[in-house]
Amino acid sequence: MPQIELTELTLPELEDAFAQLGLERYRARQVFQWVYRRGACDFDLMTSLPAAHRRLLAARFRVSTPSIARRDVSGDGTEKFLLELQDGRRVESVFIPRTPHQTLCLSTQVGCAMGCTFCLTATMGLVRNLTAGEIVGQARVLARETDLLESRFNIVFMGMGEPLHNYDATMAAVRILADGQGLAVHPRRITVSTVGLVPAIERLAAEEVMPRLAVSLHAPTDEQRQALVPVNRKYPIAEIVGACRRFPPARRDRITFEYVLLAGVNDSPDDARRLAALVRDLRVKVNLIPLNPAEGIPYERPSDERIDAFGRALAGRGVTVMVRRSRGRDIRAACGQLAVARE
């Protein structure tokens, strides 16, 4: 009988699996705590379980964990992890300290299919989706390695891949991460970023366990955006904004629009004016991200004066705006810089 990958199961699913083996459901909660709170991957270490239970579980389940292939530390304290999965594929994950909270940036795919022209991950193409266990496995490794297993931290799905293109695995990972018996990351501390897959955004609006949503807008007009984000041809700006507007009112103020500033492309005063008009009737935050240059990306970072003027133009029109501070640029760990060599 093939072993079941325990890390792919939410706690209710694990309880059902234990019940089918004739084990009490509370034993599943014990195992869940061992794996996520204590970082245990070996059933022999789970000493609160009887020895007979441990032998049975070791025969029926496995606990797979990504291995660390490389770990780089930036001068600003940011750490980038190159993690190897069970099939040898690799993804990058990032630990960002003092943001002001500790933050883990996780990947949801090996590569990405969205083709955004300013993003290094897009040059990989899509290799494959990650499973829920592989997504959460990144959090388990980073939390263990940075001594966060007993601390509160944030999670952003802004690493490699488009999270909502891998919807089911991403949301299963959110439910596992948020479970109070495990890492207990409150959904308000989890942010899922998307380039604007409208059907998935609408599906997300109905989720019981719903993270914060960040929409990668990057331009105020369809003509501009289609040159930067090819999927805009299928899901234009009006449809994306409309999907955000249809979010439940209590959750609508948890939406962020992300906007990568590219010199001479989308950073003019007129661009700021059009962007402000686009979001004026939504209670959202605009997160400005000055481009993090990388070899092979045909754009430049605007000057600090240009960035400041753009932000002031938005704020002057009543838009809540924040300029994201780039972290980890010296180890290629900043936004849009994650990529691994194709195998």
Q: Active-site residue 116, yes or no?
A: no
Start-to-end C-alpha separation, the chain:
32
Q: Token pair of 98, please?
A: 């003092």
Which residues have a Cβ under 8 Å from the Cβ of 201 and sit 6 or more positions away?
164, 194, 213, 215, 240, 243, 244
Catalytic residue (one of 105, 112, 116, 335): 335
Q: Active-site residue 335, yes or no?
A: yes
Phi-psi region of 143 (alpha: psi -120 to 50; beta: other; left: phi over 0): alpha
Q: Provide the sign of the torsion angle of the four alpha carbons 264, 265, 270, 276, taken in this order.
A: negative
Kindly provide the b/e burial profile for residues 39-56, where b requires at least 16 CB atoms within 10 angstroms of the residue's own CB. Answer: ebbebeebeebeeebbeb
Catalytic residue (one of 79, 92, 134, 162): 92
Burial class (CB in 10 A: 0-12, 13-18, 19+), 270: exposed
| Cα–chain center distance at 144 | 18
Q: Provide the sign of the torsion angle of the four alpha carbons 47, 50, 56, 61, taken in this order.
A: negative
Contact 182, 35 (CB under 8 A): yes
The Cα–Cα gap between 146 and 124 comes to: 28
Burial class (CB in 10 A: 0-12, 13-18, 19+), 174: buried
Q: Token pair of 41, please?
A: 């991957």
Beta-carbon neighbour count of residue 117 at 10 Å?
16
| Residues forming the active site | 92, 335
